[in-house]
Structure 1
Amino acid sequence: MSWSQKTFALTPRTRGCYLVTDEVVQSLPELKEYKVGLLNLFMQHTSAGLTLNENWDSDVRLDMTDALEKIAPEKAMYRHDAEGSDDMPAHIRSSLIGVAITIPIKDGRLATGTWQGVWYCEFRRSRHSRKVVATIQGEKYH
């Protein structure tokens, strides 16, 4: 059993949900070394998130962004507003979506379903640099 861990940054983006599967795979060329295993992605932030969802129709990402804005609206009265009016709603959305996902690895590739992709969900209006810790555990090719 072999372990690998590294931290990489996602391309900064404004509020929204973005398909980043290719960006993740490009940041982790060592995935190709694993016959079978698990990839855990952990975002080191409290106002953004990671999830697996639709990888084909971009309307799904727009609809998700709209739905999350309705669930945790910026205009609501929050106690925590030290970093701006979009900060507390971002924390709520991050807790709902989550900051970590685990994906199986099979034959050097992510073993996602046909329509699944890795999403980076940014919940703040302005661009932020977001770091992801990638941990791989598995059996390497000999």
Structure 2
Amino acid sequence: MSWSQKTITMSPRTRGCYLVTDEIVQNLPELKDYKVGLVNLFMQHTSAALTLNENWDSDVRADMTDALEKIAPESWNYRHDAEGSDDMPAHVRSSLIGASVTIPIRDGRLATGTWQGIWLCEFRRMRHSRKVVATIQGEKFK
């Protein structure tokens, strides 16, 4: 059993849901060394999130952004507003989506479904660069 861990600095993004599977895989060349295992991706921020969802139709990402804005609207009268009016709704959305995803590794590749991709959901208006800790556990090729 082998372990690997690194921090990935993601490209800066503004509010929205983004397909980042390729960016994650490019930053994890060590995936190819694992015959079987798991990779856990952990978002080190409270106003962004990671999830698995549709990897083909960008309308799904736009619809998700719109739906989350309706679920946790900026216009609500939040108590916490020290970092701006978009900060507290970002925390709510982040809690709803989650800070991490765990994906199986099979034969050196992510074992996602045909239509699954890794999304980074950015909930702040201003462009932010986010850090994701990737932890791999598994059996390497011999």
In the alignment, is residue 106 of structure 1 matched against residue 101 of structure 2?
Answer: no
Q: Give distance in 2, aligned partners of 1:60 and 1:128.
A: 22
Structure 1 residue 129, shift from structure 2 partner: 1.4
Q: Give distance in 2, aligned partners of 1:20 and 1:114.
A: 15
What is the correspondence of 1:21-60 to structure 2 with a 5 Å cutoff? 21-60=21-60
Q: Which amino acid aligns with 2:34?
A: Y
Q: Which residue of 2 aligns with 1:116?
A: 116
Q: Give distance in 2, aligned partners of 1:9 and 1:127.
A: 14
Identity rate of aligned residues, in percent? Answer: 84
Q: Which residue of 1 aligns with 2:12?
A: 12
Q: Which residue of 2 aligns with 1:132?
A: 132
Q: Which string of whole-angstrom CA distances, capped at 9 and with x for unpartnered residues, describes residues 47-98 of structure 1?
A: 0000000000000000000000000000110000000000000000000000
Q: Give distance in 1, aligned partners of 2:27 and 2:99.
A: 18
Q: Which amino acid aligns with 1:52?
A: L
Q: Taking structure 2 as the reference length, what is the TM-score of the superposition?
A: 1.00
Q: Give distance in 2, aligned partners of 1:10 and 1:98.
A: 17
Q: Give distance in 1, aligned partners of 2:94 and 2:8.
A: 19
* Structure 1 residue ranges, 4+ long, deviating more than 6 angstroms after superposition: none
Return 5+ residue gaps in structure 1 as ranges: none
Q: Give distance in 2, aligned partners of 1:12 and 1:98.
A: 19
Structure 1 residue 140, shift from structure 2 partner: 0.2
